[in-house]
């Protein structure tokens, strides 16, 4: 554990929401909060004097101090560190993730449909870090929302140890229910020759999936005996299932395979992860985990 939560700062409303979300998370973890702004044109910092409005770094300083002031107003006892880094933002945030327990970024809000839009930076950054990354939009409150659970999407094809560790710990810190959702398509044998669904076969497939899901969760139920856990199976694709069930969630947790599992040149965020992030109505935590090795 690195015992630090890092939030990227760029002066946008979604960035401030990410900072405040990160501050609450740092408080729950009893960890310090690190605010980071990176820009390749940052000038060397002046020594022994505060920056003036003539300094090249004046506006980055002002932006950082404004974000820190918001944090200290709402979380007065939280340790806050400010970092201005003269680097490309992608490189700076990737390095910051390596020494952080959690990286928190703002995601653009597409308006009344309450969806995220990952920036080009986010699309490049999320798949190439080994730290969990949380994406927050501008309208997300930083305070706890009563009776809202943590939702985690779970595939039963991969040994998602780090994903479940993150989800159970997040729900435990918030003293709320953890909802575990597994979505899968109906198997081919559930369809008749006319393309209709055989009800008995569909029920059998759903029952088998619930049994598998319950067995997969057993070690974590033993580790968190007092945590309310609700597990559900949705016989549909994971993306629509997660987006639908996230409507009343405080946080949605999804996994992605570690970057070294990708067969294509360079890391990819993955179709399911990208689709969920773009459509989810709540903050999304993307947690890297070990996947089943590719064949061939």
Residue 71's closest CA among 32, 30, 20, 25? 20
What's residue 137's pLDDT?
82
Cα distance between residue 22 and residue 5, in whole Å: 7
What's residue 33's pLDDT?
98
- Other C-beta atoms within 10 Å of 150: how many? 26
The reported pTM is 0.85
| CATH, domain range 144-295 | 3.40.50.12370
- End-to-end CA gap in the chain: 35
Question: Is there a common fold for 1-141 and 144-295?
Answer: yes
Kindly give the confidence (pLDDT) of every residue in the chain, 296 residues in length, as a single tens digit, with 9 standing for 90 and above: 568 999 999 988 889 999 999 999 999 999 999 999 988 777 666 555 555 556 677 888 889 999 999 999 999 999 999 999 888 889 999 999 999 999 999 887 654 433 444 556 777 788 888 899 999 987 765 555 557 899 999 988 776 899 999 999 999 999 999 999 998 777 777 777 777 777 777 788 888 889 999 999 999 999 999 999 999 998 888 888 999 999 889 999 999 876 544 444 455 667 788 888 888 889 999 999 765 433 33
Q: Are 11 and 39 in contact (CB under 8 A)?
A: no
Pair of tokens at residue 216 = 């997969």
Q: Where are the domains of the chain?
A: 1-141, 144-295
Digit-coded pLDDT (tens) for 3-56: 899 999 998 888 999 999 999 999 999 999 999 998 877 766 655 555 555 667
Residue 243's closest CA among 206, 282, 288, 287? 282
Digit-coded pLDDT (tens) for 264-286: 445 566 778 888 888 888 999 99
> Is domain 1-141 in CATH 3.40.50.620, yes or no?
yes
């Amino acid at each position: 554990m690195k015992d630090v939560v890092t939030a990227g700062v760029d002066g946008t409303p979604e960035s401030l929401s990410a900072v405040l979300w990160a501050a609450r998370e740092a408080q729950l973890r009893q960890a310090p909060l690190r605010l980071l702004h990176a820009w390749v044109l940052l000038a060397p910092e002046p020594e022994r004097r505060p920056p003036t409005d003539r300094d090249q770094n004046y506006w980055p300083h002002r932006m950082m101090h404004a974000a820190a002031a918001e944090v200290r107003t709402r979380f007065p006892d939280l340790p806050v560190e400010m970092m201005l880094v003269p680097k490309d933002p992608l490189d700076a945030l990737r390095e910051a993730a390596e020494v952080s327990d959690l990286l928190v970024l703002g995601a653009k809000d597409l308006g009344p449909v309450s969806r995220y839009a990952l920036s080009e930076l986010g699309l490049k950054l999320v798949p190439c870090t080994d730290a969990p990354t949380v994406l927050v939009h501008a309208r997300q409150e930083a305070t706890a929302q009563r009776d809202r659970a943590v939702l985690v999407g779970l595939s039963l094809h991969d040994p998602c140890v780090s994903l479940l560790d993150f989800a159970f710990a997040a729900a435990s810190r918030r003293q709320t229910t953890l909802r575990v959702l597994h979505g899968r398509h109906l198997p081919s044998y559930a369809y008749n020759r006319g393309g209709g669904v055989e009800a008995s076969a569909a029920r059998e497939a759903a029952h088998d999936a619930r049994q598998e899901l319950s067995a997969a969760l057993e070690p974590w139920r033993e580790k968190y005996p007092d945590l309310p856990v609700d597990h559900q199976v949705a016989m549909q694709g994971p993306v629509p299932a997660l987006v639908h069930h996230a409507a009343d969630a405080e946080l949605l947790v999804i996994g992605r395979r570690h970057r070294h599992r990708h067969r294509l040149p360079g890391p990819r965020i993955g179709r399911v992860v990208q689709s969920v992030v773009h459509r989810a109505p709540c903050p999304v935590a993307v947690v890297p985990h070990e996947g089943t090795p590719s064949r061939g």
